[in-house]
Amino acid sequence: MNQREILDLMPEKGFIKIPESGTVSLTPERKVKLLRKGNKLFNEGDIETAERIFVTIGYRDGMIRVGDYYYNQNLHLEALRMYKTAPSPEKIDFLISKMAQVVRSWLSDN
């Protein structure tokens, strides 16, 4: 089974809750202010608040950076959730491939 087939078997909503991004109507000025605030918080290490801002304003690059942070912290499901929210097909495919390798390894050990 390849990655695409595995994704096709997943329920439409998936196994993890994926927030809708950009669902709040904002003026361009307000969006820029929130983007700057989110970047500042991310750089200061307040990832959770930065994530909420990035998802709210639909800031794809910020969501991918949060996903990368989670990936580097070995929080792979959280990373996948952010990559799906962004969306970032390349990151999704990479992460699913890595997860599939782990499952294959577990199965071959038995």
Is the Cβ–Cβ distance between 67 and 86 less than 8 Å?
yes
CATH superfamily entry for domain 29-109: Tetratricopeptide repeat domain (1.25.40.10)
Q: What pTM, to 2 d.p., does this model score?
A: 0.77
- Residue ranges of domains in the chain: 29-109
* pLDDT of res. 25: 79
User: Which of 30, 31, 66, 60 is closest to 47 using CA atoms?
Assistant: 66
| Residue 43 identity | N
pLDDT digits (tens, 9 = 90+) for 34-80: 999 999 999 999 999 999 999 999 999 999 999 999 999 999 999 99
CA angle 28, 33, 36 (to 5 degrees): 125
* pLDDT of res. 108: 87
